[in-house]
Each structure stands twice: as C-alpha cells, then as structure tokens.
Amino acid sequence: MRVDTERLIGENRDVWARFVPHPYMVKVVGDPGSLRPWVLEDYHFVRGGAIRFMLALASRAPPEGHLDFLLESTHRLATMEVPIFLEVSRDLGGVDLGREPSMATVSYVSFLNHLATSMDFVYGGAVALFAEEWAYYQAWKWLSGKSQHPVLVRLSSHWSSREFCEYVERLREMVEGMQGDQKTAAGVFRETCRFELLFWDSLNGPDTH
C-alpha cells in the first residue's frame, strides 16, 4: 500500500497548532538574542544527530533508488548547514557550542538513530526524515518576512527557501513511492512530530541555558 503523506500531516493538526507558530519563535521575532539556546541545540541535532541519521538511512537505501539523493542531502548538511551555525553563533556574540545539549535533543537524536537502524527503510527512517524536514519547513516559513534581523533572515531564508521546499517535496515523493503500511507510518510520523514539538518546547524550558 502507498503511504499517504497528506493524511499523515492532517492527522497531526493538534501538533502543528502548537508549533506553527511556536511561542519560542514568537519570542525570537521580538528578541532575536533569545535564539542563542536554539543555536547550541540545533547544532548538536544536525552535527551529532541528523548527519549520522541520514548516513545510516543512506546505507540501507536501495542503490538504484534513493542512495545518491540521500548522500547528496547529507553532504549538503555537512557543508552548508554546519557553517551556518558557526556564522550565527558569531553574529549572536558567541555561543559555546561545546556545551552539552538538553535531554530533549539527546532523546530526539537517539529516537532517529534507533529508527534508522532497527526498522526497515520505508517504515522507519524515511517517514521520520520527511516528518522532521516538513515540520522545520513549516516552522521557519512562519517566521519568514516577520523580522529584518540579519540572523533571522539568514535562517529563515535557508529553511524556508524554494530549494529547501523542493527537497522536502522530494522526500515526500520518496515516502509515497515506496510500499508501506499506513498505520506504522502514522505511528512513526506522529512520534517524530511530537519530538519536534518537544525540541521547541524545551528551548523555552529549564533544561536549556
């Protein structure tokens, strides 16, 4: 059976309502300096988590199918996104990226890595990758145009760009083009969305700095 991504998105309206826009994003628009905890957390998410997660997924992708796409996307993260964190950290007056991340970030990353290694390619990692990228696209698209602060413009122009949108749509096609079980996909999709919400909630919470 084909996985229906619109249905997955529609079933999680309660989650989107809580983070598009997320109260933390609203705070950031008013005070871009409050983005500092995000820089640390997302740097760890991407550097220590997403890159390895995508490599693990690529290692299980059928060679005639999505291998090249996943490898290119992983390369883009390592070469384009990691420098963004360094640049933004500097522009916000220096964020110590060596500090340990919150347990929300640590558990989100281990959830993704568990999926990539323990479930089969479709049901696990591909659905989760689509969910986290789709969620991020929505979050940053909301912010786009709401502030002229150079750091916010820099970040929203990356995660809500046309290129990023095309990448998310390509992930959607990848998920829809595979044979999958909608119920399992729905479980993975929902858990990923809830982790995404937890990530944003924790930026407002006591576990970060």
- CB within 8 A of 173, min separation 6: which ones? none
User: Which residue has the closest beta carbon to ligand MP5?
Assistant: 136
Does 130 bind ligand MP5 (CB under 6 A)? Our answer is no
Q: Is 132 among the residues that bind ligand MP5 (CB under 6 A)? A: yes
CB nearer to ligand MP5: give 83 or 181: 83
Query: Is position 53 an interface residue for ligand MP5 (rule: CB under 6 A)?
Result: no
CB of 63 to ligand MP5, least distance (A): 22
Does position 43 interact with ligand MP5 (CB under 6 A)? The reply is no
Supply the DSSP symbol for 92.
Answer: T
Q: What is the dihedral of CA 122, 123, 128, 133, to 10 degrees?
A: 40
42 binds ligand MP5 (CB under 6 A): yes
Residue 143 engages ligand MP5 in binding (rule: CB under 6 A) = no
Please, are residues 145 and 23 in contact by the beta-carbon 8 Å criterion? no
Q: How far apart are CA 80 and CA 134, in angstroms?
A: 19
Helices and strands (H and E) in the chain: how many: 12, 0
Task: Note the residues at the interface with ligand MP5 (CB under 6 A).
Answer: 42, 45-46, 50, 77, 81, 132-133, 136, 196, 199
